[in-house]
């Protein structure tokens, strides 16, 4: 028989030492503070774009080194999956929403896979190439009609060629 739940009131220590009425930041973010915080993110943009470019290079290298040998595919897929997840997480944070969309598309595509067919490898390569283009052309935001069409094409390709191997 399930025991009754014990409700423990929130501990007051942290609130007591940090929350007050005179010093610090308003609970609701003011436009001025928001702007200052966004400056921090903006300043990190160059480092993040360099990091993403390096990850894309590593992804291409991983495919070049491992694609021909099926026994190495799990290792390659793990590398591609990890890198695409990082790009998905970083892209939108620094304003490159389209990178996030493409990274997520690739990450979802690879989910659960342990081997890739030639067609599936091609889908991966197309994702990587597209991310390079977005980065090289500094396409911030979600892009326009062309980018929307690109994402639709990726969705179709992923749906068509995604079969867990």
Q: Smaller CB distance to other proteins: residue 41 or 153?
A: 41
| Nearest-approach distance from CB 26 to other proteins, in angstroms | 6
Burial class (CB in 10 A: 0-12, 13-18, 19+), 86: middle
Q: Smaller CB distance to other proteins: residue 33 or 64?
A: 33
| Nearest-approach distance from CB 68 to other proteins, in angstroms | 26
Distance CA(163)–CA(110), nearest Å, equals 10
Q: For residue 57, what is the DSSP state?
A: H
| Nearest-approach distance from CB 156 to other proteins, in angstroms | 21
**Residues near other proteins, by CB under 8 A:** 2-11, 14-15, 17-29, 34, 36-41, 43-44, 47-48, 51, 82, 85-86, 88-94, 97, 100
Q: Smaller CB distance to other proteins: residue 41 or 133?
A: 41
DSSP 46-92: HHHHHHHHHHHHHHHHHHHHHTT-GGGHHHHHHHHHHHHHHHHHHHG
| Nearest-approach distance from CB 100 to other proteins, in angstroms | 5
Q: Smaller CB distance to other proteins: residue 37 or 133?
A: 37
Question: What are the residues whose beta carbons fall under 8 Å from the beta carbon of 105, sequence distance 6 or more?
Answer: 127, 151, 154, 155, 158
Backbone angles phi, psi at 24, to 5 degrees: 120, -155
Q: Smaller CB distance to other proteins: residue 90 or 130?
A: 90
| Nearest-approach distance from CB 74 to other proteins, in angstroms | 13
Are 87 and 123 in contact, with CB atoms under 8 Å apart? no
């Amino acid at each position: 028989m399930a025991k009754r739940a014990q409700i423990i009131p929130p501990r007051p220590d942290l609130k007591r030492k940090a929350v007050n009425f005179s010093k610090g930041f308003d609970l609701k973010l003011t436009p001025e503070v928001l702007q200052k915080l966004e400056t921090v993110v903006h300043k990190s943009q160059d480092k993040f774009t360099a990091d993403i470019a390096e990850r894309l290079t590593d992804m291409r290298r991983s495919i070049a080194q491992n694609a021909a040998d099926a026994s190495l595919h799990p290792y390659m897929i793990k590398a591609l999956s990890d890198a695409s997840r990082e790009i998905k997480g970083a892209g939108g944070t620094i304003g490159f929403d389209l990178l996030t969309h493409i990274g997520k598309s690739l990450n979802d595509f690879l989910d659960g896979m342990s081997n890739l067919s030639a067609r599936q490898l091609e889908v991966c390569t197309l994702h990587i190439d597209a991310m390079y283009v977005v980065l090289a052309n500094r396409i911030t935001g979600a892009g326009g009609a062309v980018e929307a069409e690109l994402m639709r094409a990726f969705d179709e390709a992923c749906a068509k060629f995604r079969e867990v191997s």
